[in-house]
Amino acid sequence: MRKNYLTVDEAAEYLNTGARFVRRLIAERRIAFHKVGAHVRLAVADLDAFVMAGRVEPVQVNWSAGRAVA
pLDDT band at 1 (very low <50, low <70, confident <90, very high): low
- Cα Dmax for the chain: 61
Question: Can you give the CATH number for the domain in which 51 is found?
Answer: 1.10.1660
Report yes or no on whether pTM surpasses 0.85. no
CA 60, chain centre distance (Å): 26
pLDDT of residue 56: 84
Report how many domains make up the chain.
1
For 5-55, how does the pLDDT look when each residue is reduced to its tens digit (9 = 90+)? 999 999 999 999 999 999 999 999 999 999 999 999 999 999 999 999 998
Domain of residue 59, residue span: 5-69
